[in-house]
Amino acid sequence: MTRRTVTESGPQTRTFEMMGATIDVKVTSEETGDTFSVIELSIPPHFPGAPPHYHEQMPEHFHLLSGKIDVLLNDTWSPVLAGEHMLIQPGIVHAYRNNYDQPARFLVIAPGHDRFFFELMDWMRAEPVWPPKDRQTLLDFGRRHDVIYI
């Protein structure tokens, strides 16, 4: 388990820092009539990323702005380079990580995914240790946001 710090900025917090990463909600679902949200993730070298999961309804797009990450699609990890775009359809098990010596920055574009990050940051501020000891709580949280952890 990793101790982490979550900080915030401004009265309408849209930027969060945790475990060396920055999450910046650029466009909320509310601002697009619930059609999509845009989140910019900046992750440090050797960042473990998101655990394997899938979405039942939500397509998710990754667009690499800088650096390089590895993305898991079903059983295969593949590098994604700056300038590349990846569409992950519902039902596809996926994850990301930065196994490299350089930071990476990418956009996550998906309907409603901003709500996942807003709630996640609230939860991480309240939890002294991450990930939480009660795995079922994490599974239930994910399911509320169409994130089905494997």
Token output for 24: 């910046």
pLDDT averaged over the chain?
A: 90
CA dihedral sign of residues 117, 119, 123, 126:
positive
What gap in Å lies between CA 137 and CA 9, rounded to an integer?
Answer: 27
Domain ranges of the chain: 7-149
Stated pTM of the model: 0.86
- Per-residue pLDDT tens over the stretch 12-57: 578 988 889 999 999 999 999 999 999 999 999 999 999 999 999 9
Convert 42-62 to b/e letters by CB count within 10 Å (16 or more is b): bbeeebebbeebbbeebebbb
| Per-residue pLDDT, 12 | 52
Q: Does domain 7-149 have CATH number 3.30.540.10?
A: no
